[in-house]
Structure 1
Amino acid sequence: MPTSASASGPIQPQSSAETSSSLQSRPIPEDLIGRLSSSTVPYEIKVKALRDLKNQIIGNRTKKLSFLKLGAVPCVVSILSSATTSTAASRGNLDSIIIQSAAVIGSFACGFDAGVEAVLQAGALQILLRLISYPNEKVVDAGARSLKLIYQSKLAPKFDFFKDQNMEFLLSLLNCDNENVTGLGASVITHSCQTSMEQRALGDAGVITKLINLLGGSLIQRDSSLESLAAILKENSEVILKFVGPENGRALNVVIELTMDKYPRTRLLACMCLIVIRNALPSYLQDLQIKTKLVLILLELLDDPGQVGEEAPFALSSLIAGKEDLQKLAFQENVIDKLCNHLEKGSLQAKCLQGIFLALADLCSRLESCRTRLLSLKGLHFINHAMTHDSAEVRAAACICLRNISRSVENLSAGTFMKESVMNPLVQLLCDTSTSVQVAALGAISNIVVDFMVQKTTFIQCGGLKQLVELSKSMDSTLRMNAVWALRNLIFLVNDRCKEAILLELTQSTITSLICDPEAFVQEQALALVRNLVDGSTDCIKHVFAEDFSLLDTVIRQIQSASKAEVLIQGMYVLTNVASGNELHKEAVMNLLFPTPPGGPQSIIFKFLQSNDSRLRTSAAWTLVNLTLPSSSGAFSRVSKLRKVGIVSQLKNIINDPCLDVKLRARTALGQVMTFGDGSP
């Protein structure tokens, strides 16, 4: 035993000394840049400097940033430019410099937008494109690989497919025997093809046929082609029909076969291609076996430790989003359990976490069974933990998942979500630095605060009300709209005391301002908030009569001037609820809707009763029901006025309305009117 302990002693210092030595031998960044910038440095030293630079920055964002600050990219691009235009006899030496320079440029661009931006600003793109026609195959390879890395970034310029010379160039890439060049062509398509016109142009030029042929090529060609096909086919049924139709669906069968390929990325890309087809043309791929296979393959790919594992949950999300049949299938295949098992393991990459929560959100968007299952598997625990994650994308995805599981009426009623353990982190996200996180948090809150079976004081005590009011004043219209939406739901069916507390924080002037917001969707939510405010006891209605009827006046002005149906509907329902109150309230609505004596301008309610939108007709008829209630003391006077202005005749025109709601309200209102006689002299 002493011998063993003694033997282990010298080993550690030796290892430490070796590490120190290797660090000391690594070139200092400033020295590297100096060697690359010098015009007198021999060829061998310059090539070595390029290799050293490449080795230092590969996979190291910190190093890339350091060298960017030192001006490495313009320096390397200058070397590349000089080498490609040089007429020196030592072509072999120059080719080595070109290859190493292109590799360095590609390394800077790989997964690093700041690097891509620097590469583009330095003018590298055109130089690299010229390398594709270079006589040395190794140079062509280096140029194509670097260009592919650049085109993987959103910052890369879009390729204009409508220019003849560009389409010819693209076809020449796809026709090339070099797999890196054909892969580049496919990458250009994946990056740039975004519109239906571009998809059609590529299809008409024969690009789809070229890509189908490449599915039988090398691994690089297969994967690049699958990715490009997904871009060309996405949401375009016309182009998809051209893809699946020829030769009895040969191309489609090839893609289906590739879902069983031995390479994980090929399987993933084949699945994504099939998902694109099914999303645009649901009539295809209806076979239960294929649908089940897609779900199971994507689940299996989640276990991949690399990029495939990170992308698989996004593909799963795309497959099941909005499709109840596939959500049921996924539930039957225990997808929720398997996704939760991955969350249980922990130490997942941020992108993978984001994808898993989005997939869970889609699974829980419609089916109560899925929500119940997720909650039973510590779903809230996972979500709460993710809401404090360093990644904004993960935080947003967790909120989206919470929003969907909180659609469960049963769990809302049980107060499952109205707990400090959920509310505290959720409310904190309202102050998040990411707008997308704030919007996602507001979406979850909007659902949770509908919780009408329990007190909403927990949310208010956590500071939620104050934050919602602050966000309702945001310069960002999306934040304003979602904040007001949450306030609208918060005030839904609460008692008078709670309404007063909310109104005290929100203030009448803020509500008035929101009703007059420049954005129609904010106006709609603000009017819906007022609708909920005056829904309930007669005491609630007093709030719109405060401050000289300012709130009620604002509502009627908006009804008279707005053009969007949703705004008008919510405004009319405010009046409907006010008209359900006492005589003072009914008369106020009557005077607002019919402010002039007969012969004056026609009331807006005529327009609504004649509207093509059944929702507007319903709201208008319902207001008339409340105004003509026979038990109210002033009903006879109001009915008389309604007869004079022609409203009763208009009601008769819609008693057989095709919309059942309109028909019911119209007949109810007309029946109440008739209790005071038929209006005959």
Structure 2
Amino acid sequence: MPTTAESNRPEDLTARLSEVGGVGKGEALLKVLREVKNQIIGNKTKKLRYLHLGAVPKIVSVLAAVASDGGDSAIIVQAAAVIGSFSCGVEDGVRAVVEAGAVPLLIRILSYPDEKVIDAGARSLRMIFQSKLAPKYDVLQSKNMMFLLSLLNSNNENAIELAVRIIAHSCDKNEEQNALCDAGVLQRLVLLLEGSLNQRDASLGSIVAIVKNNREVAMAFASIENGKALSALTELIHDRYPRTRYLACMCLIAIGQLSCYVQDLQTKTNLMLVLVELLEDSSHVGDDSPFALLDIITDKEELQLQAIAINLVEKLCNYLEKSPIPPRRLQGILLALAELCSKSEICRCQLISPQFLNTIVDALKHVSAGVRIAACTCVRNISRSVKNLCAGRLSNEAVIIPLFQLLNDPSTSVQEASLGAICNVAIDFTAKKSALVKYGGVPLLVQLSKSIVPTLRLKSLCALRNLMFIADRIGKENIISELTIPELTSLICDSEHLVQEQAMALVSNLIHGCVDFIRLVFAEDGLIINAVIRQLKSDYSTQVCIQGMLLLCNVAAGDESHKEAVLSYLIPLKAEGCSSFIIRFLQSKDQFLRTAAVWCILNLTDPAGVNSPVRVGRLVQEGAILLQIKTMVNDPWLDCKILYNCNVISDMRLRFYLGQFSYCFLNIKFLILILKNYFKKQ
């Protein structure tokens, strides 16, 4: 092989970078740098090869040596160009350049007297600052701010674009946004909107960075030249270039979320239509546009209805028929559709068609975790429709099986999303118990209830709670046999309050409407009931106490032995030296906890109970309870709308209201009036 060809191999060129680094070898060094640059431009494989050989630190060393000596400008230009090429399109290249200390060197040469050196340095830095791996530039330092302003006001296009990219990359705090605004940067960026395409797009990105989540800065931008800046953005959303349209939309979205400007329905309608059109773009713009649409419609019911009115749902669904769709784009579209049907029944009906459900099912099996999560979110929001659940449209095996398969997904986020969907769809599993049992749904949920991840424990318990609520006797026995009483007790005592709540709610659903299952609360030496009472006595979480009292309400609705057991916990023997937590709950500031406490007492005093008079007597003897009940006639929780004459309420009427208990929080005043009347008659 000829010597010349051999010397141009990456290994040889990298070695020669060290050999020709001395003074007096400028021509040889220049030749090596040019050859390396020519090899790596547009060639990712070659870039990675040189990175592996350690070429970047050597090139940075060359730049440092030559620049410090005021050496050959041509070498500085070539070294800067090579560094920029390594940073273009390869994140490993950016990482190597940053770690080698190239950024401060390149910033230093921007003060060089040679315009070509300045241009090369700015171009290289511009490529570096396109990456998230680029270092943050501290704009709060006055010297840095002055340097940034000098770049913005220079005549060098690359220097201007560099300054704009530095702003977009480094401005993420309110203090930085305010400092840039006070320095007049926004006005300069508005002027750059009339510059070249690169300057315009970079300026739009910087405007987003400066105004995002900062109301004062957003208002300041909107008032520039009496709104001319806003008008310019409104025009740019119809620009011929997709990226410009997208960035202009992002600017208007950021400003509209923080100020009284860009609030009119027509402007936001135009934004939604433009963003949907941008889905057709094959670049990253098409991937990002559905997420921008999501920003507009999230928690905005008026805009969601407007989106339906302009057939946005239909347009998004039609786009889903195309294949293949880039994963990020598909994820964004599914999330946008999920948000649109989060509150709108009309939208849910549009999305429940077999064709769209098939698309969701396919997305549940997608290779991208983000797409799988988005598909689960769609199922969850569609299943908020009672109409769809009652019709059994989501209970078919095509939907259920993939959801349960995702419970074994390697991604915790996917597992959480699938559990969120299952929690809703579970309500309709009555018609498909065979699928639930056949594909191991209950064991999987029970397994996840033991997870070390709190959210997985929480959501799996929520799903089991919903399954327990609609389960028949066999279904309940199946769930409790898998979960076991010791494990359920452990969950009641979980370190997370929300998990404790769901565990207690699950037990409430287990025993609700079936006296035979109440025995499980007292099984194994009273593991469950003792755990519940411990939590109620601790009184450290109002929501946990509410669920605990609801559980006791259901136990108190059982037979005489169950009522006596509950009463013994509410009114402990004086010899035990314990105070009654029921009084604290009757005095609670939380209306739901007060209501649950009253319901529990009502269930204990059911006239149908043989020992009901005895229990009433014990409650009356516990003067504090009766005194609190008397004061609660004027409870502030809602005005009493039912004005029956409580003095003539019969035992049958009391029994009727007791029979209606199903976790419905009735007016406390009415409950107290019923209870006081009953105590009088006893």
Q: State TM-score, norm by structure 1.
A: 0.87
Cα distance in 1, alignment partners of residues 304 and 336 from structure 2: 10
Q: What amino acid does structure 1 have at the position aligned with 2:87?
A: G
Cα deviation, residue 146, structure 1? 3.9
Against the structure 1 CA distance between its residues 602 and 312, is the aligned structure 2 distance closer, same or farther, given a 3 Å change threshold?
A: same
Cα deviation, residue 601, structure 1? 4.8
| 1:540 and 2:517 aligned | yes
Cα distance in 1, alignment partners of residues 607 and 175 from structure 2: 62
Decide whether the 8 Å contact of 2:522 with 2:528 is kept in 1: yes
Gaps of 5+ in 1: 1-23
| 1:658 and 2:622 aligned | no
Aligned position for 1:179: 157
Cα distance in 1, alignment partners of residues 124 and 499 from structure 2: 47
Match runs of 1:405-416 below 5 Å = 405-416=382-393
Aligned position for 2:212: 234
Q: What amino acid does structure 2 have at the position aligned with 1:134?
A: Y
Aligned position for 2:358: 381
Deviations 1:319-353 (A, max 9, x none): 11111111111112222222122221112211111
Aligned position for 1:300: 277
Cα deviation, residue 455, structure 1? 3.8
Match runs of 1:54-203 below 5 Å = 54-55=40-41, 57=43, 60=44, 65-88=48-71, 90-92=72-74, 94-107=75-88, 110=89, 112-203=90-181
Q: What amino acid does structure 1 have at the position aligned with 2:56?
A: V
Q: What amino acid does structure 1 have at the position aligned with 2:667?
A: L
Among candidates 551, 561, 568, match of residue 574 of structure 1:
551
Cα distance in 2, alignment partners of residues 563 and 194 from structure 1: 38
| 1:269 and 2:252 aligned | no
Cα distance in 2, alignment partners of residues 217 and 359 from structure 1: 34
Aligned position for 1:418: 395
Q: What amino acid does structure 2 have at the position aligned with 1:264?
A: P
Aligned position for 1:586: 563
Against the structure 1 CA distance between its residues 559 and 152, is the aligned structure 2 distance closer, same or farther, given a 3 Å change threshold?
A: farther
SS in 2 for 1:491: helix
Q: What amino acid does structure 2 have at the position aligned with 1:259?
A: I
Aligned position for 2:445: 468
Cα distance in 2, alignment partners of residues 551 and 408 from structure 1: 34
Cα deviation, residue 80, structure 1? 3.4
Cα distance in 2, alignment partners of residues 294 and 476 from structure 1: 40
Cα distance in 2, alignment partners of residues 67 and 530 from structure 1: 64
Decide whether the 8 Å contact of 2:56 with 2:83 is kept in 1: no
Cα distance in 2, alignment partners of residues 464 and 66 from structure 1: 50
Aligned position for 1:45: 31
Aligned position for 2:191: 213
Cα distance in 2, alignment partners of residues 520 and 391 from structure 1: 33
Larger mean Cα displacement after TM superposition, 314-323 or 541-550: 541-550
Cα distance in 2, alignment partners of residues 398 and 542 from structure 1: 41
Deviations 1:113-142 (A, max 9, x none): 444433332222322332433334444344
Decide whether the 8 Å contact of 1:331 with 1:370 is kept in 2: yes
Q: What amino acid does structure 1 have at the position aligned with 2:401?
A: N
Q: What amino acid does structure 2 have at the position aligned with 1:290?
A: T
Decide whether the 8 Å contact of 2:327 with 2:371 is kept in 1: yes
Decide whether the 8 Å contact of 2:532 with 2:548 is kept in 1: yes
Cα deviation, residue 373, structure 1? 1.0
Against the structure 1 CA distance between its residues 314 and 607, is the aligned structure 2 distance closer, same or farther, given a 3 Å change threshold?
A: same
Aligned residues: 647
Decide whether the 8 Å contact of 1:493 with 1:535 is kept in 2: no
Aligned position for 1:6: none
Larger mean Cα displacement after TM superposition, 633-642 or 40-49: 40-49
Aligned position for 2:650: none
Cα deviation, residue 301, structure 1? 1.0
Cα deviation, residue 576, structure 1? 2.1
Q: CA RMSD in A?
A: 2.9
Decide whether the 8 Å contact of 2:395 with 2:429 is kept in 1: no
Cα deviation, residue 367, structure 1? 0.8
Aligned position for 1:3: none
Aligned position for 2:678: 675
Q: What amino acid does structure 2 have at the position aligned with 1:211?
A: L
Among candidates 291, 312, 319, match of residue 314 of structure 1:
291
Aligned position for 1:15: none
Q: What amino acid does structure 2 have at the position aligned with 1:396?
A: I
Q: What amino acid does structure 2 have at the position aligned with 1:39?
A: V
| 1:521 and 2:498 aligned | yes
Cα distance in 2, alignment partners of residues 287 and 305 from structure 1: 30
SS in 2 for 1:421: helix
Larger mean Cα displacement after TM superposition, 358-367 or 608-617: 608-617
SS in 2 for 1:347: coil
Cα distance in 2, alignment partners of residues 480 and 146 from structure 1: 50
Cα deviation, residue 298, structure 1? 0.8
Cα deviation, residue 571, structure 1? 2.2
Against the structure 1 CA distance between its residues 474 and 84, is the aligned structure 2 distance closer, same or farther, given a 3 Å change threshold?
A: farther
Q: State TM-score, norm by structure 2.
A: 0.87
Against the structure 1 CA distance between its residues 662 and 307, is the aligned structure 2 distance closer, same or farther, given a 3 Å change threshold?
A: closer
Against the structure 1 CA distance between its residues 116 and 438, is the aligned structure 2 distance closer, same or farther, given a 3 Å change threshold?
A: farther
Against the structure 1 CA distance between its residues 455 and 636, is the aligned structure 2 distance closer, same or farther, given a 3 Å change threshold?
A: farther
Against the structure 1 CA distance between its residues 439 and 78, is the aligned structure 2 distance closer, same or farther, given a 3 Å change threshold?
A: farther
SS in 2 for 1:302: helix
Gaps of 5+ in 2: 639-663
Cα deviation, residue 495, structure 1? 1.5
Decide whether the 8 Å contact of 1:320 with 1:362 is kept in 2: yes
Against the structure 1 CA distance between its residues 663 and 507, is the aligned structure 2 distance closer, same or farther, given a 3 Å change threshold?
A: closer
Against the structure 1 CA distance between its residues 180 and 648, is the aligned structure 2 distance closer, same or farther, given a 3 Å change threshold?
A: farther
Deviations 1:654-673 (A, max 9, x none): 33333238772453244234
SS in 2 for 1:629: coil
Cα distance in 2, alignment partners of residues 126 and 599 from structure 1: 74
Cα distance in 1, alignment partners of residues 611 and 118 from structure 2: 89
Runs (4+) of structure 1 exceeding 6 A deviation are 24-27
Match runs of 1:604-619 below 5 Å = 604-619=581-596
Cα distance in 2, alignment partners of residues 294 and 133 from structure 1: 42
Cα deviation, residue 529, structure 1? 2.4
Decide whether the 8 Å contact of 2:151 with 2:160 is kept in 1: yes
Cα distance in 1, alignment partners of residues 462 and 533 from structure 2: 21
Cα distance in 1, alignment partners of residues 7 and 322 from structure 2: 38
Cα distance in 2, alignment partners of residues 380 and 441 from structure 1: 15
Deviations 1:209-268 (A, max 9, x none): 333333333322322222222233223333322332354333222222221222211111
Decide whether the 8 Å contact of 1:80 with 1:102 is kept in 2: no
The alignment-based identity, stated in percent, is: 48
Against the structure 1 CA distance between its residues 533 and 158, is the aligned structure 2 distance closer, same or farther, given a 3 Å change threshold?
A: farther
Aligned position for 1:564: 541
Larger mean Cα displacement after TM superposition, 502-511 or 610-619: 610-619
